[in-house]
Structure 1
């Protein structure tokens, strides 16, 4: 990366362990590699965000289930650093996508020149299915995606993207803060400190606690938690986490895009949602490719949750086999939308 993008500042209104930071102060910190290399990052503040996920029950019926996502929020100064380093890495990542022919393949967490929403991304898949019948659509869901990113692989992908032999000290500081992170549960912490969850800024409160009180009120109270998985996982919710997850998947995406294309098929990935459409006689080969690629990336997916739908030639709804355990359904689900032909 030969030129640096301009500094972008996003004010954050939540309370954290530090005070809100001005644009000038944030820029002085985040744009100085020496300061970033020496920076001490605060613990994240975590909470659970529940979204609705369309899936199948044991009888093969399509149902909506709660899918909890563990979100972790960075302190104000830390977030400024993460956002800056996301801006530094993003151009190199986009260039790599273009070089590998993946610009249209990876759709999550990117500023696409053509725009697009989940409706558009799902619509592209459904239109492809309609134009390539007969075919089989396969939808895979990577389990605990952010929690299982291997630190060694992530570091190497980061190094490769920068085109260096080792991470520079400032980049390593950011990497280490995301792989050796600590966090506190927001609700537990607010309760312990008498902070209202409904109005945490009551009484002109501007931060969770003063730095001098951190040791006694947070650390010695047992509120501080380390990353629960040694050697794996980054916090979901920081300004750089989404981009890093995409960087982690570069080789995965390239391999599957090439190999599925050889089968006469179509591959797309949106975060932890993978969609593949192949001719009917290539289903087994496609599923084996996915299983191998997931293993190589040191990730996991629940085969029992894989959605399959066989779309017949011409028009018509997929016919689900009588055995719910086959994984076949009379429709396919992607990004919250269903398609039945």
Structure 2
């Protein structure tokens, strides 16, 4: 193992450290101007991290039944708490996350035989995404011919991470008897984090838009002004012995490390019965081929063992999202309800024969398209325009013309990529991903009220 006090083993790639445009308590900085500070472990050991800024992101989620609160539409709202760090702190978290992943966690996973098991937030899985991981699992399942499947979900994972256990696992991965000063400072800033509510800051100083319009680059003129504000407005703190913020650049790597013992135990179970185990963030799956020694009674015992392991390492499994299935005769059976069912994994649904995207994915695409087009049409009427505004955005997000939109593409290009990947990786399943979007041009044209004169 490497000496974690020598951080120069991972050379900082400045192209990955973009200066971001959000407002915080400090000014925006360029990585070139602070690189020597960010990579100096003695400086970080004494660094004073700024409080985070917290806000709640609400989004609509599709459900099976109609919801009277939303005009009987099959949706509900889901809240996600997001916290983000100051500009300098963000660079520190990003760099330490990169070092932790590349120099320590990746090596730890390879040495322990779980490198293929953990797929999210890994910097040695470049070019792979949830599509690849879902296709690989489904293809393996089909190759087994008959298999038992245990899927699970960690409940409120980031909010439930036990600090003492995280500290222990972090020290093990870093190969340190106790955390060095810089690593402890980073660890403490993420576990005993301070924060202010974004809504409170906006009430005090105006909206972010109005502050930016006045050419201000921060909520405060300088750090001294912020410290004055701090004296009069006490920083809110996480006083619990559990929970880390979602949104910081290092939180996801810490979350992976926290589950390392769980991963090792589940990998042992998979190996014992010639199966496979995979975890993507807080979603995990265990697939074990059916055999003389692995029957329904045995898989139920394995499920009990999995719950025990989760409890031992202070991970709570979501009751409603933990399922036990049998893949047999080109069908998926729910063992608990004893009914024909399907496997829902990483955004894809497998019924034993066909693979599709979750139904809510195309639904969300069309709903967002409708919302954007309706907004543009209202602006056109209000401003008495002759042409529809926001065409570039509409075509970029809602049609095949947006394959390179914002350098990432859009939902259609995602679906095309998924179709191609599944056809390559899982050739023995009937992959109907693009079928779910086959009438997209007509549907978008109907929303627009005119034909798009280009072949898409």
Q: TM-score range by the shorter chain?
A: 0.7 to 0.9
Give the equivalent residue in structure 2 for 1:27: 35
- Give the distance between the partners of 1:274 and 1:259, measured in 2 at CA: 13
Give the equivalent residue in structure 2 for 1:201: 212
Show structure 1 runs of 4+ deviating over 4 A: 50-57, 63-67, 215-219
Give the equivalent residue in structure 2 for 1:263: 273
Pick the aligned partner of 2:120 from 108, 113, 125: 108
Alignment of 1:191-230 (within 5 A): 191-196=203-208, 198=209, 201-210=212-221, 211-215=223-227, 217=229, 220-221=232-233, 224-227=235-238, 230=240
Alignment of 1:67-106 (within 5 A): 67-90=78-101, 91-106=103-118
CA RMSD between the two structures:
2.6
- Give the distance between the partners of 2:214 and 2:119, measured in 1 at CA: 43
- Give the distance between the partners of 1:82 and 1:243, measured in 2 at CA: 10
1:6 aligns with 2:6: no
- Aligned pairs, how many? 329
TM-score by length of 1: 0.87
Is the 8 Å Cα contact of residues 44 and 75 (structure 1) preserved in structure 2? Answer: yes
Q: Deviations over 1:179-237 (max 9, x none)?
A: 110112223322332124x5652211201224333355456346x3211x611111111
SS at match of 1:204: coil
- Give the distance between the partners of 2:136 and 2:243, measured in 1 at CA: 31
Alignment of 1:166-181 (within 5 A): 166-181=178-193
Cα offset, 1:51, TM superposition: 5.8
Q: Deviations over 1:101-138 (max 9, x none)?
A: 11111000012356211111111111122222322322
Give the equivalent residue in structure 2 for 1:309: 325
Cα offset, 1:19, TM superposition: 0.4
Cα offset, 1:329, TM superposition: 6.1
TM-aligned CA distance change 1:283 to 1:22, over 3 Å: same
Is the 8 Å Cα contact of residues 307 and 328 (structure 1) preserved in structure 2? Answer: no
Mark the runs of 5 or more structure 2 residues left unpaired by the alignment.
Answer: 66-73, 353-456
1:299 aligns with 2:309: no
- Give the distance between the partners of 2:338 and 2:83, measured in 1 at CA: 34
Cα offset, 1:310, TM superposition: 2.4
TM-aligned CA distance change 1:93 to 1:327, over 3 Å: farther
- Give the distance between the partners of 2:99 and 2:160, measured in 1 at CA: 24
Q: Deviations over 1:3-23 (max 9, x none)?
A: 621123412221111001122
SS at match of 2:9: coil
Higher relative contact order (CA 8 A, sep 6+): 1
- Give the distance between the partners of 2:62 and 2:280, measured in 1 at CA: 15
Give the equivalent residue in structure 2 for 1:249: 259
Give the equivalent residue in structure 1 for 2:372: none
Give the equivalent residue in structure 2 for 1:277: 287
SS at match of 2:214: helix
Query: Which protein has the larger Cα radius of gyration, Structure 1 or Structure 2?
Result: 2
Of stretches 121-130 and 277-286 in structure 1, the one that deviates more from structure 2 is 277-286
Pick the aligned partner of 1:340 from 344, 351, 375: 351
TM-aligned CA distance change 1:50 to 1:135, over 3 Å: farther
Mark the runs of 5 or more structure 1 residues left unpaired by the alignment.
Answer: 58-62
TM-aligned CA distance change 1:6 to 1:165, over 3 Å: same
Is the 8 Å Cα contact of residues 307 and 327 (structure 1) preserved in structure 2? Answer: no
> Relative to total residues, which structure has the larger helix share, 1 or 2?
2
Alignment of 1:39-54 (within 5 A): 39-50=47-58
SS at match of 1:236: coil
Q: Deviations over 1:227-261 (max 9, x none)?
A: 1x611111111111111111112221111111132
- Give the distance between the partners of 2:82 and 2:343, measured in 1 at CA: 28
Give the equivalent residue in structure 2 for 1:60: none
1:236 aligns with 2:246: yes
